């Protein structure tokens, strides 16, 4: 199942806000539809929103045919629907390079979609090879947020590595971290692991470092929304705490992301806009009404805490813009 695709003249996505209870497909036919779906996380995950942004530009080309100013405004809205994952602005701009022709933009968006599918296959193989080299057969892995087919097009990034290890008979166990406050791990990763028939356990985010300290985790493996020139990894809030836990426990911390997530134009994580999604998601029904909150949706893990970054073309440690490659890659 593709979580995002172009079907009969519309962008069709699985509405991730309805999972795991219901599998509902949405047909998006306007730029406003796409921007809204990205903002409310009906489509989410760095590669997936990049693909959505590219198809959104195709919708803009059709919707505003012959009106270059309106098309440019639509591209601006798409690029800025969410700020942190580099994929969105990058892929929307790439597709916009084919304007004003609807056919040319659509063809570019389809190329972007197909590249992400091919990337997942490569990352799965490279990542599984690395985990086997670092941890041996039967690794017990902890993952955070959702990095499966829902977050890409099919298969995923870090979760694709877990699927591949399972296919190889080399997976010792999976702990999915629930991912407060929107529960991408609890709602989506468990759903994808369950569909694949892979045994797994769910843990609250704050249990991760303790489970590592107790010797129940052989490696942490997760995705990224942006990998900066210096190798800093920007990813879902909670990632940094898992990285600190992994360092304290002396286990590998592996980030898996396509090259479309690597942003060598951004020097470090300090230069990345971290989306704050407001108080309501945090305060919910538990806190007294009116409680103030801070809600960063992402955090920055310094490159020095990252054992390896696996992309579709390379495996490296240290800087993303240098030749500082990991020998085991």
Active site (catalytic) residues: 225
DSSP secondary structure code for residue 296 in this structure: B
3-state class of 255 per DSSP? strand
Site map 200..229 versus ligand MRU, x via CB under 6 A: -----------------------xxx----
Is 236 a binder of ligand MRU (CB under 6 A)? yes
Q: Does 178 bind ligand MRU (CB under 6 A)?
A: no
To ligand MRU, the closest distance from the beta carbon of 180 in angstroms equals: 12
- Closest distance of CB 236 from ligand MRU, Å: 3
Query: Is residue 301 within the footprint of ligand MRU (CB under 6 A)?
Result: no
Residue 190 binds ligand MRU (CB under 6 A): no
**Could you say which of 91, 235, 266, 301 contacts ligand MRU (CB under 6 A)?**
235
User: DSSP assignment of 105-142, as one string?
Assistant: HHHHHHHHHHHHHHHHHHHHHHHHHHHHHHH-TTEEEE
x/- contact string, 81-110, with ligand MRU (CB under 6 A)? ----x-------------------------
71: which residues sit within 8 A by CB, 6+ positions away?
60, 61, 64, 96, 99, 100
- Beta strands across the sheet bearing 233-236: 262-263, 226-228, 233-236, 298-301
Q: Is 152 in the site for ligand MRU (CB under 6 A)?
A: yes
Span near ligand MRU by CB under 6 A; candidates 21-29, 92-100, 102-110, 148-156: 148-156
Q: C-alpha distances in angstroms, 122 versus 42, 126, 218, 325? A: 26, 6, 23, 17
53 interacts with ligand MRU by CB under 6 A: no
Tell which one of 177, 184, 230, 307 touches ligand MRU (CB under 6 A): 184
Integer angstrom CA distances of residue 186 from 19, 147, 205: 10, 12, 10
Considering only residues 13, 145, 227, 249, which one is a binding residue for ligand MRU as defined by CB under 6 A?
145
Q: What residues numbered 115-144 form the site for ligand MRU, per CB under 6 A?
A: none
Cα 241 to Cα 209: distance, rounded to the nearest angstrom: 7
Angle at 244 between CA 239 and CA 246, to 5 degrees: 90
Distance (Å, whole) CA 90 – CA 145:
22
* Binding interface with ligand MRU (CB under 6 A): 41, 44-47, 85, 145, 147, 151-152, 156-157, 184, 223-225, 235-236, 297
């Amino acid at each position: 199942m593709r979580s995002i695709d172009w079907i009969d003249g519309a962008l069709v996505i699985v509405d991730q806000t309805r999972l795991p209870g219901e599998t509902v497909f949405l047909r998006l036919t306007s730029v406003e539809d796409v921007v809204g779906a990205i903002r409310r996380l009906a489509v989410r995950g760095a590669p997936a929103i990049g693909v959505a942004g590219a198809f959104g530009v195709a919708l803009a080309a059709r919707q505003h045919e012959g009106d270059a100013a309106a098309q440019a405004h639509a591209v601006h809205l798409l690029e800025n629907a969410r700020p942190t994952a580099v994929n969105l602005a990058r892929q929307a701009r790439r597709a916009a390079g084919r304007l004003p022709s609807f056919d040319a933009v659509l063809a570019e968006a389809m190329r972007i979609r197909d590249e992400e599918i091919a990337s997942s296959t490569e990352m799965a193989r490279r990542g599984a090879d690395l985990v086997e080299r670092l941890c041996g057969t039967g690794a017990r892995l902890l993952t955070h947020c959702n990095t499966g087919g829902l977050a890409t097009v099919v298969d995923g990034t870090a979760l694709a590595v877990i699927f591949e290890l399972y296919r190889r008979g080399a997976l010792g166990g999976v702990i999915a971290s629930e991912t407060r406050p929107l529960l991408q791990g609890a709602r989506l990763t468990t759903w994808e692991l369950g569909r694949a028939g892979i045994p797994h356990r769910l843990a609250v985010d704050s249990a991760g470092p303790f489970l590592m300290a107790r010797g129940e985790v052989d490696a942490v493996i997760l995705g990224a929304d942006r990998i900066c020139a210096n190798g800093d990894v920007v990813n879902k809030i909670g990632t940094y705490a898992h990285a600190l836990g992994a360092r304290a426990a002396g286990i590998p911390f592996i980030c898996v992301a396509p090259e479309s997530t690597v942003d060598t134009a951004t020097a470090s994580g300090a230069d990345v806009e971290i989306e704050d999604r407001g108080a309501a998601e945090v305060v919910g029904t538990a806190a007294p009404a009116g409680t103030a909150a801070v809600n960063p949706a992402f955090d920055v893990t310094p490159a020095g805490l990252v054992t390896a970054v696996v992309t579709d073309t390379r495996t490296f440690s240290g800087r993303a813009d240098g030749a500082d490659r990991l020998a085991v890659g």
